[in-house]
Structure 1
Amino acid sequence: MECAIYKHSSLFLCCLVLLSPLVFCQLNYMFYDSTCPNLTGVVRYNVWSAISNESRIAASLLRLHFHDCFVNGCDGSVLLDDTSTFTGEKNALPNKNSLRGFEVIDTIKSALEKACPSTVSCADIVTLAAREAVYLSGGPFWPVPLGRRDGTTANKTEANNLPSPFEPLQNIIDKFITKGLDINDVATLSGAHTFGFAQCFTFKSRLFNFGSKGKSDPALDSSLLQTLQKLCPDQDDSDTKLAPLDPVTTNRFDNMYYRNLVNNSGLLQSDQALLGDNRTASLVLNYSKYPFLFLRDFAVSMEKMGRIGVLTGQEGEVRKNCRVVN
C-alpha cells in the first residue's frame, strides 16, 4: 500500500514497518493547504458559534472525538446513522442519549461542501472540531495532522466496550494500551473531564451504595457529597440529571480537574482512582500544581490519539454527508 501523502521511498518503508495501531507517517499538517485553504477558519467559526449558543457543546465535541477514535480508529464511524440495512454506533450503550455534537459536525460539513466539495473528510472535521473546542475553552492549541479518510463500516459491539466510569482503572488502562496509548495518556487524557457534565447514574453509587454496602463513598469530600445527594436523589427519575464534572470552572479547560482529585472531589470513581494508583498519582499531583505541564502534555496525547487506526490514501472515502456512506 502506498503512503497517501509522501512518495519518498524512505517514508514508504516507514509506513510498511510501523505495526502499532497508531499511524505516524500517513498524515500531513498541510494536507488541505491547496485544496481547502479556509478549512481551519470554517471549523473554528462554527465551533465558536456552537459554544456561544451552548457552552456545554465544547466538551461534547471533544467526547465525540474520543468515542470515534476508540472504535474502528479515527474514521468518522461514530457519525453514521442506523438504517434498515446498516447498524451504526450511536445506539451503543455509552452513546445512546448521551453522545452529542452531531449537528455541529453537519453544519461544518455543509459549509465545507460549499467551499471545497468532496474534499474534507468527516473524520478530519471531528478531529479539528475537538481541537477548536478545547482551544476556544481556554485550553491548548496543537497542530493537527490531516488526511484521514472516512470509514464505510461501524462497530456497535466495540462501541459497547468503550472505557467506562463503572470499571476499575486497570481495565481502562488495558483498553488504552490496546489502542497504542499508555498509562500516562490515561492520566493526561482523563483531564478532558475538566469541563462538561455527567449524568447522575454514572456516579450515583458513590452517593448511596458505594461498594454495594448501602453507604456513601467515605473518600468523597463531604461538602460535595451533600450537594450531589440533593442534585441526584436516590430514585430512578434522577438518573439522567446532569452534574458538572468540575463544579469550580465548569466550562473552562484548565487543570482544576486535577486539583479536585487532590481534594477528593473527583466526580467519577474512575477519575478519583487516578490519585490512588501509584502509577498515575505523581502525574495527578504535578498537573494540579503546574497547569502548563498539563496543557502541554494534553496536546501531545491528543495528537497521539488522533492517529489511532486512521485510513489514508485509497482507503475509505470522503463522505458527502457525514451520516451516511456515499
Structure 2
Amino acid sequence: MEGLSIMKYQYFSFALLLLLLATCKAQLSSTFYDNTCPNALSTIQTSINAAISQETRMAASLIRSHTIGQAQCFTFRERIYNATDIDAAFASNLRNGCPQTSPNGNSNLAPLDTLTPNSFDNNYFTNLVDQKGLLASDQILFSGGETDSIVTEYTNSASTFNSDFASAMVKMGNIEPTTGSAGQIRRICSAVNSS
C-alpha cells in the first residue's frame, strides 16, 4: 500500500510540475528555492524520472500537454548552448532571444511547440523526432531509450496519442493526494520531520 502512495505522490508531483511549467510567468526564477530548499529541483527531477520509468506511456502522453504554451529562457538556456541532442539551426534561432549570460533575457519566452504553438495536436512529437524539443525534459523522451517507440507511434498517429492522453488524464484525476494528518509540512524539505 505504501508503494501505491508513493506512486500517487510522484504522479501528483509530475502533474504539478507540468502545470507550473505551462503557466509560469516572470515571478519565478531558476534560483527561487536556492536558499529555502536547495535540493528542490533535484528532488522534483528524481520524482519525475521515477514516474516516467514506472509508466512510460502515461508519462509520454501527459508531458504532451507541452503542445500549448511557452517557456522562459532560463528553463532552456543550458540546452540551447550546451546540449548535443538538439538541432543546430533550432538552437541558433533560440539563442537570438535567450542570451547566454544569466539573468539577461531570463523572462524571454519561446513556444513549447514550434510547429503549431496554439494547437493541441501531435506535432510536439514531430519536434522531438527532429531534435527540436525545447526543454531537456521533453527531448529525453526521444533519445535512444524505451520511450522512442511511443514518441514514434504518437508522431504517426494522432488518434493513438489522443486516446492515451485522455486515459492518462482520467488516471491522474483519480489520484488522491495525502491530506490532513496523513501528511506533513516538512521543516527541512529534504528530510522527513522527526516525531
The TM-score, its normalising length taken from structure 2, stands at: 0.69
* In the alignment, structure 1 residue 174 sits paired with structure 2 residue 50: yes
Aligned counterparts of 1:308 and 1:232: Cα–Cα separation in 2: 37
* In the alignment, structure 1 residue 238 sits paired with structure 2 residue 168: no
The amino acid of 1:276's aligned partner reads S
Which residue of 301, 305, 310 maps to 2:168?
A: 301
Find runs of 4+ consecutive structure 1 residues off by over 3 angstroms.
159-164
How many angstroms does 1:284 deviate by? 0.2
Aligned counterparts of 1:163 and 1:176: Cα–Cα separation in 2: 12
Q: Is the 8 A contact 2:114 2:127 kept in 1?
A: no
* In the alignment, structure 1 residue 204 sits paired with structure 2 residue 91: no
Aligned counterparts of 1:68 and 1:261: Cα–Cα separation in 2: 23
How many angstroms does 1:306 deviate by? 1.5
2:159 corresponds to = 292
CA shift digits 1:71-100 (9 cap, x unpaired) = 8x99xxxxxxxxxxxxxxx9xxx99934xx
Aligned counterparts of 1:286 and 1:276: Cα–Cα separation in 2: 15
How many angstroms does 1:298 deviate by? 0.5
* In the alignment, structure 1 residue 70 sits paired with structure 2 residue 70: no
Residues 176, 225 of structure 1: alpha-carbon distance in 2 compared, 3 angstrom cutoff: closer
* In the alignment, structure 1 residue 97 sits paired with structure 2 residue 81: no
Give the number of the structure whose residues are more often helix, by fraction.
Answer: 2
Gaps of 5+ in 2: 29-35, 181-195
How many angstroms does 1:243 deviate by? 0.8
* In the alignment, structure 1 residue 221 sits paired with structure 2 residue 87: yes
Aligned pairs, number? 165
Identity percentage of aligned residues? 32
How many angstroms does 1:231 deviate by? 0.9
2:141 corresponds to = 274
Q: Is the 8 A contact 2:122 2:161 kept in 1?
A: yes
Gaps of 5+ in 1: 1-16, 24-66, 75-89, 99-155, 211-216, 317-326
* In the alignment, structure 1 residue 186 sits paired with structure 2 residue 67: no
RMSD: 3.7
How many angstroms does 1:234 deviate by? 1.2
Residues 201, 183 of structure 1: alpha-carbon distance in 2 compared, 3 angstrom cutoff: same
Aligned counterparts of 1:192 and 1:228: Cα–Cα separation in 2: 21
The amino acid of 1:259's aligned partner reads T
- Which secondary structure state, in structure 1, belongs to the residue aligned with residue 126 of structure 2? helix
The TM-score, its normalising length taken from structure 1, stands at: 0.43
Trace 1:1-326 onto structure 2 (pairs within 5 A).
20-21=4-5, 69-70=12-13, 97-98=27-28, 160=40, 163-164=44-45, 172-175=48-51, 182-208=55-81, 210=82, 217-236=83-102, 237-310=104-177
Aligned counterparts of 1:242 and 1:271: Cα–Cα separation in 2: 17
Q: Is the 8 A contact 2:11 2:172 kept in 1?
A: no
The amino acid of 1:270's aligned partner reads S
How many angstroms does 1:240 deviate by? 1.8
Q: Is the 8 A contact 1:204 1:232 kept in 2?
A: yes
How many angstroms does 1:190 deviate by? 1.2
